[in-house]
Amino acid sequence: MTLDNISANKCFGGWNKQYTHRSAVLNCEMRFAIFLPPQISKGQKVPVLYWLSGLTCTDENFMHKAGAQRIAADLGIAIVAPDTSPRGEGVADDPDAGYDFGLGAGFYVNATQAPWNRHYQMYDYVVNELPELIEAHFPVSQQRAISGHSMGGHGALTIALRNPQRYSSVSAFSPISNPINCPWGQKAFTGYLGKDCESWKQYDASELMKQAETKLPALVDQGDQDGFLAEQLKPEALIAAAQASQYPLELRMQEGYDHSYFFMASFIEDHLRFHASHFGA
């Protein structure tokens, strides 16, 4: 598979780069960003953190705003940030549906409903196609962790819970923890997956955590001044699920913090060090 390098910036001794490629899974051109730490210049293969962003975001939001590269360079961790949905000519969208459905709002599911099923296969892209591409073209190991924010926190948790053999740890900021019971999730799942609510549970972190047998270390940070906390995010459902299955979840309510990248920038070092501690464990 061909990669086209469209930007490259030296950063803390490493490189922050963007690439485009043709995705067979999503049936369109996709873009991702990657931070390669300075350790790769010494011939080392480094572990990878996959970062999934939230509604309306692209690959750029996290890389430009979170301030993760300094710590990743110190720890020797590559970071890969894909786009949040397929894009381009011919990719389905519904401009009247709002920011929380369609382009920029892939929800990290495999859509089953037309016309979304032609392109919106973000679950398969993140789990399989993108890591295969990264491991074939960059000096990285097969040690992987996954994290994300809001819709991306939902994606990170559900992907890790369904594929614990692929990741050493999972973390999230302000995840949509119980999407089958919140407006964002109900809207997206109805459109992408249809009206069979039972099928939605495979993409609900709280439902998956209740039944988890193989357990990964999990860290979640949530701001207590988040405007979406009560209606959309529902961390209490995730806490209850972890208690039911004795899942090793640490969920921290952070006083005064909201849903923004100021929140993520404040605690991203904790998350990177958390993942570093579990690589090779």
**CB atoms near residue 108 (< 10 Å):** 26
Q: Model confidence over 213-266: pLDDT tens digits?
A: 999 999 999 999 999 999 999 999 999 999 999 999 999 999 999 999 999 999
Which residue is catalytic, options 85, 150, 169, 206? 150
Cβ contact 168:144 at 8 Å? yes
What confidence category does residue 25 fall into, taking pLDDT thresholds of 50, 70 and 90? Answer: very high
Which residue is catalytic, options 149, 259, 271, 275? 259
224 has catalytic annotation: no
| Average pLDDT of every residue of the chain | 97
Beta-bridge mates of residue 28: 23
Quick one: pLDDT at residue 280? 77
Tokens of 173: 């900021």
Which residue is catalytic, options 168, 177, 226, 275? 226
In this structure, of 8-12, 21-25, 40-44, 93-97, the range with the lowest mean pLDDT score is: 40-44
Q: Is the pLDDT of residue 7 over 80?
A: yes
Q: Model confidence over 65-89: pLDDT tens digits?
A: 999 999 999 999 999 999 999 999 9
150 has catalytic annotation: yes
Strand 249-254's sheet: what is its strand order?
A: 4-11, 14-23, 28-36, 78-82, 46-52, 140-148, 170-173, 218-223, 249-254
Quick one: pLDDT at residue 42? 86
Three-state SS annotation for 199-261: HHHHHCHHHHHHCCCCCCCEEEEEECCCCCHHHHHCHHHHHHHHHHHCCCEEEEEECCCCCCH
Give the mean model confidence (pLDDT) for residues 125-151: 97
Domains and their CATH numbers in the chain: 3-272 (3.40.50.1820)
Q: How many residues does the structure list for the chain?
A: 281
Quick one: pLDDT at residue 118? 98
Give the mean model confidence (pLDDT) for residues 39-51: 94
DSSP 168: S
Helix (H), strand (E) at residue 195: none
Give percent above pLDDT 70 in the chain. Answer: 100
Residue 204's identity, in one-letter code, is D
119 has catalytic annotation: no
Q: Is the pLDDT of residue 17 over 80?
A: yes
Quick one: pLDDT at residue 44? 87
Quick one: pLDDT at residue 43? 86
Quick one: pLDDT at residue 281? 55
**CB atoms near residue 219 (< 10 Å):** 21
Looking only at the bridges linking them, the beta strands covering 14-23 and 4-11 are antiparallel
Residue 60's identity, in one-letter code, is E
Quick one: pLDDT at residue 57? 97
Give the mean model confidence (pLDDT) for residues 183-197: 98
